[in-house]
Structures are given as structure tokens and as C-alpha cells.
């Protein structure tokens, strides 16, 4: 996976070049923090909104081959890179969408993202995109990878659950990183 991203990143900057040295920790392992929180059941549909270079969607799709992942980004060159990575990795459970989240006429069980936008904006984008019927170990909802102090951002969402990623990983990168789960109401 690393060599694919090195090759594509030289052509189209989808991952900060300074982050390439920490690719597996800062991108792959960070994405897989979601898998520490929930084990998606077979047939679950997951949207990765603002997927960028395919994170967290690509690592999750590798980890959960029986889950359908929709990677969504409005920037076409990022989707081009993701399509190439999906093809090279022979992933059959990934569908890409070069559109804005609000324009996607589908629903999912979960929406995942990584530092895409403030919670209020995310909820505006995905509020009607999450199915009500749940069959996973937690109710359908939004799973966000974020960093820093989120108390003000989450104050309007009393049902939001914040998990420090240092609970799962010892690397110093995770000291301020969090997973926020907001169940669908």
C-alpha cells in the first residue's frame, strides 16, 4: 500500500509529503482505530465523507472485506488516486463517488471521516444519510477521527461519545487523537 501512495503522491499530492514517513501510523493505523471501536457486521454500508487520499475508507475496506464502503470526495483528482489504489489492491467492496456528500442519493449504516469539518457541518451533510434500522453492536451513526480539545465543538451533542485513541495505541501521535461516535437519532 505504501509504495502505491508514494507513486501517486509524487503526481498528485493527496497526503502531506511530511507525513509519508509516518504513513502506517498516521494514516493506516489511525484509520483502523475505528475497527478497535466497532466490528462492522457483514453487509454494513459505510460512507467515508471527504475521504481525501482514501482514509479511513481504504484501510477499513481491507480490514472488513464483507462491508460495503462508499468513498466520497468532491475533488476529482483524489478520487482518481483512490480508484487506482482500489484497483491495485483488488478491493471489490469499495465504490467511489466524485460528488459532495449532500448530493449523494443513498443512505448508509455509518458515516466515517477523519478531520473533515466541525461536527455541526458534518451533521448538516450527513443527518439524513444515516439509516435508522441498526444491526451492528452499536446504533447506526457518525464515527469521526478528530484531534485536540473537542468540548466546545461537541457541547451541542450530548449523545456524542469521545474515546481517546491513546487507549488503543501507545505511539505519541495518538496522545491528542480521539474517536467521536454520535448515534443517529
Q: What is the pTM for the complete model shown?
A: 0.92
In angstroms and rounded to an integer, the radius of gyration of the C-alpha atoms of the chain is 15
Distance, CA of 183 to CA of 160 (rounded, Å): 7
Residue 142: predicted pLDDT: 96
Indicate if the pLDDT at residue 92 is higher than 80: yes
DSSP of 41-78:
PTT-EEEEET-TTTTTHHHHHHH-TTSEEEEEES-HHH
Q: Where does 2-183 sit in CATH, by number?
A: 3.40.50.150
Helix (H) or strand (E) segment spanning residue 164: strand 161-164
Residue 14 has pLDDT above 80, yes or no: no
Nearby residues of 9 by Cβ (< 8 Å), 6 or more positions away? 15, 17, 20, 53
pLDDT at 42: 97
Per-residue pLDDT at 15 exceeds 80: no
Domain ranges in the chain are: 2-183
What is the structure's pLDDT at 55?
A: 92
Quick check: 25 pLDDT over 90? no
Amino acid at each position: 500500500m505504501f509504495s502505491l501512495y508514494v507513486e501517486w503522491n509524487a503526481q498528485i499530492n493527496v497526503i502531506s509529503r511530511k507525513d509519508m514517513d509516518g504513513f502506517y501510523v498516521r494514516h493506516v493505523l489511525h484509520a483502523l482505530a475505528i475497527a478497535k471501536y466497532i466490528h462492522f457486521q457483514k453487509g454494513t454500508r459505510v460512507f467515508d465523507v471527504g475521504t481525501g487520499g482514501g482514509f479511513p475508507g481504504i484501510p477499513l475496506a481491507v480490514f472488513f472485506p464483507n462491508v460495503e464502503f462508499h468513498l466520497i470526495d468532491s475533488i476529482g483528482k483524489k478520487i482518481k488516486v483512490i480508484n487506482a489504489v482500489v484497483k491495485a489492491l483488488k478491493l471489490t467492496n469499495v465504490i467511489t463517488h466524485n460528488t459532495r456528500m449532500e448530493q449523494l442519493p443513498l443512505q448508509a449504516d455509518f458515516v466515517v471521516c477523519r478531520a473533515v469539518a466541525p461536527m455541526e457541518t458534518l451533521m448538516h451533510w450527513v443527518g439524513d444519510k444515516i439509516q435508522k434500522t441498526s444491526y451492528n453492536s452499536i446504533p447506526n451513526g457518525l464515527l469521526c477521527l478528530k484531534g485536540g480539545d473537542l468540548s466546545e465543538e461537541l457541547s451541542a451533542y450530548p449523545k456524542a461519545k469521545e474515546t481517546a485513541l491513546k487507549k488503543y495505541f501507545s505511539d505519541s501521535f495518538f496522545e491528542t487523537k480521539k474517536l467521536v461516535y454520535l448515534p443517529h437519532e
